């Protein structure tokens, strides 16, 4: 399980995740068409997830994920 593999640590903040305050974010690698098996999932805090999709944070990892979204 993703939950186990990631050891409950947020990939963005490096902090331990609260099971009631986490979201699964789909990481879509750029320039990989029709290869769904390379789609990755990561667990992040609800707040961080909102930042990735709708926020304006300049934090490096949040920006990195946001740029991947923009390539869709």
> Cβ–Cβ contacts within 10 Å for residue 47, how many?
13
Q: How far is the CB of 8 from Zn ion (least distance, A)?
A: 18
Residue nearest to Zn ion (CB): 25
Q: How far is the CB of 4 from Zn ion (least distance, A)?
A: 20
CA distance 4 to 10: 12
Instruction: Count the alpha carbons within 13 Å of 30 in the hemisphere toward its beta carbon.
Output: 8
Query: Closer to Zn ion at the Cβ: 18 or 46?
Result: 46
Helix, strand, coil tally for the chain in percent (to 5): 40, 20, 45
Q: How far is the CB of 44 from Zn ion (least distance, A)?
A: 8
Residues that bind Zn ion (CB under 5 A): 25
Query: Closer to Zn ion at the Cβ: 24 or 32?
Result: 24
């Amino acid at each position: 399980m993703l939950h186990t593999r990631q050891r409950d640590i947020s990939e963005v903040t490096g902090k331990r995740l609260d099971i009631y305050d986490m979201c699964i974010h789909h990481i879509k690698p750029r320039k990989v068409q029709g290869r769904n098996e390379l789609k990755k999932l990561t667990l992040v805090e609800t707040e961080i997830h909102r930042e990735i999709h709708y926020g304006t944070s300049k934090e490096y990892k949040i920006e990195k994920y946001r740029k991947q979204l923009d390539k869709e």
